[in-house]
Amino acid sequence: MSENLNLFTSTQDVIKEALTKLGYSEEMYELLKEPLRMLTVRIPVRMDDGSTKVFTGYRSQHSDAAGPSKGGVRFHPDVNEEEVKALSMWMTLKAGIVNLPYGGGKGGVVCDPRQMSMGELERLSRGYVRAISQIVGPTKDIPAPDVYTNSQIMAWMMDEYSHIREFDSPGFITGKPLVLGGSHGRDKATAEGVTICIKEAAKKRGIDIEGARVVIQGFGNAGSFLAKFMHDAGAKVIGISDAYGALHDPNGLDIDYLIDRRDSFGTITTLFENTISNQELLEVDCDILVPAAISNQITEKNAANIKASIVVEAANGPTTMEATKILTERGILLVPDVLASSGGVTVSYFEWVQNNQGYYWTEEEVHERLHETLISAFNNIYETAQTRGVNMRLAAYMVGVRRTAEASKFRGWV
């Protein structure tokens, strides 16, 4: 079975287990085991050399029972249908965990933005919105940034959608620049949420953040802000990585310098000679390990070699279910993606609310509400895991799926 199919089918398995434990019927599982809608599109883009290249894109809407679908758009060469489907299902769970009136959605385009000019990227972003415009919108499905997409791309997408609908539609997409209706704190939100989960998990395990050794895979939006927050909290960030390799220094890395030198795709290791591989980085001796890049990184092949006592998933799907079992059996506290990375969609929700009201909050207001939401979500799931005798991933699925299951029931769908 391919890695991505495995990711999708094992997500179905955990959803089934969660629904069964909560006492829902088999029909509820039939409804939630697949996205409600999956659109595949072909996007012709005029390249700078005059040729036309046709890109494949996807938008998956897992559910809209609890509200419009919501979730990011990924531009990456490895994007595929199974992955986008799984990503949209995780968005349903995240929205449930932080109690947002949304279902899950996710999109992606198979491309490598690192090899494209700004003009080509703009034409691709606009073409993607034209291709999916019938099924998205501020009250239908609201996209946001994810891997290799950013606030500039959100701005082009919002502009294109506004042209199609013939009115300004800031609420169509989140993660926009501040001047176009973006929210304070959205850029740092995912990392802030991960930081809160790390601090709560460390308290449970009696680990002092001051001096704790932290390894972070990925140095983009999530990974680099997280490295900064951990460093500022007194932790020692001893390893980071990007798509090309990893840096490791047991005495601690100079995070401010690395952030200053990384490029807009979160690439930094190409400036150094003494690099190690991403796989070697995951097995480095440390207290806290944070995969913050791509999926399928901790598997049954390397789970036995992980040295950290806490693993906090900033990335979506970095640990397979087989590896989850191994880490749990080894007594490692695993804080799952659907909880740890839910800070991003939480502040996206704040952004959408501000767009709908036309009234904007201060950075402090965003910060306070995010903290309140994430601390309560972490402790709710931790306690569910303790009282139900299950691991944190299953507990998170149980908490996360309930809102959509109840909404589906009240709508009379099941």
Ligand X SMILES: NC(=O)C1=CN([C@@H]2O[C@H](COP(=O)(O)OP(=O)(O)OC[C@H]3O[C@@H](n4cnc5c(N)ncnc54)[C@H](O)[C@@H]3O)[C@@H](O)[C@H]2O)C=CC1
Name the residue nearer to ligand X (CB basis): 188 or 199.
188
Name the residue nearer to ligand X (CB basis): 171 or 343.
343
Q: Does 314 bind ligand AKG (CB under 6 A)?
A: no
φ and ψ at residue 41, rounded to 5 degrees: -130, 155
Stretch that binds ligand AKG, among 18-26, 68-76, 280-288, 362-370 (CB under 6 A): 68-76
Compute the least distance from the CB of residue 304 to ligand AKG, in Å: 28
Compute the least distance from the CB of residue 316 to ligand AKG, in Å: 5
- Per the annotation, the verdict on 106 as an active-site residue is yes
Q: Does 146 bind ligand AKG (CB under 6 A)?
A: yes
Q: Does 159 bind ligand AKG (CB under 6 A)?
A: no
Helix axes 343-357, 81-97, angle to 10 degrees: 70
Going by C-alpha positions, the residue among 110, 111, 160, 109 that lies closest to residue 137 is: 160
- Contact partner at residue 71 from ligand X, ligand AKG, none, CB < 5 to 8 Å by partner kind: ligand AKG
CB atoms within 10 A of CB 363: 11
Q: Does 236 bind ligand AKG (CB under 6 A)?
A: no
DSSP H or E run through 146 = none
Residues 329-348 touching ligand AKG, rule: CB under 6 A, are 341, 344-345, 348
Compute the least distance from the CB of residue 59 to ligand X, in Å: 16
- Contact partner at residue 102 from ligand AKG, ligand X, none, CB < 5 to 8 Å by partner kind: none
Compute the least distance from the CB of residue 154 to ligand X, in Å: 11
What SS3 string covers 349-386? HHHHHHHHHCCCCCHHHHHHHHHHHHHHHHHHHHHHHH
Token pair of 82 as six digits: 């199974």
The CA-CA-CA angle for residues 56, 59, 63, to 5°, reads 160
DSSP secondary structure string for all residues of 303-332: GGG---SEEE--SSS-B-HHHHHHHHHTT-
Compute the least distance from the CB of residue 135 to ligand X, in Å: 21
Flag whether 302 is marked binding. Answer: no
Return the residue of 57, 71, 104, 266 that touches ligand AKG, per CB under 6 A: 71
Residue 397: strand pairing partners: none
- Contact partner at residue 70 from ligand AKG, ligand X, none, CB < 5 to 8 Å by partner kind: ligand AKG
DSSP H or E run through 40 = strand 37-46
**Buried residues in 295-312 as b, exposed as e (16+ CB within 10 A):** bbbbbeeebeebebbbbb
DSSP H or E run through 20 = helix 3-22
Flag whether 355 is marked binding. Answer: no
Of 106, 176, 228, 236, which residue is the catalytic one?
106
Query: What residues line the site for ligand X (CB under 6 A)?
Result: 145-148, 190, 218-223, 241-243, 265-267, 278, 292-294, 314-316, 341, 344
Helix axes 186-205, 221-232, angle to 10 degrees: 50
Token pair of 189 as six digits: 């939100």
Token pair of 333 as six digits: 């506290």
- Contact partner at residue 315 from ligand AKG, ligand X, none, CB < 5 to 8 Å by partner kind: ligand X
Q: Does 70 bind ligand AKG (CB under 6 A)?
A: yes
Is the CB of residue 151 less than 8 Å from the CB of residue 182?
A: yes
- Contact partner at residue 174 from ligand AKG, ligand X, none, CB < 5 to 8 Å by partner kind: ligand AKG
Flag whether 190 is marked binding. Answer: yes
How far is 65 from 82, CA to CA, in rounded Å? 22
The CA-CA-CA angle for residues 246, 251, 256, to 5°, reads 65
Q: Does 316 bind ligand AKG (CB under 6 A)?
A: yes
Q: Which residues are catalytic?
A: 106
- List residues near ligand AKG by CB under 6 A: 70-72, 94, 144, 146, 174, 316, 341, 344-345, 348
Enumerate the known binding-site residues for NAD(+): 190, 221
Enumerate the known binding-site residues: 70, 94, 190, 221, 348
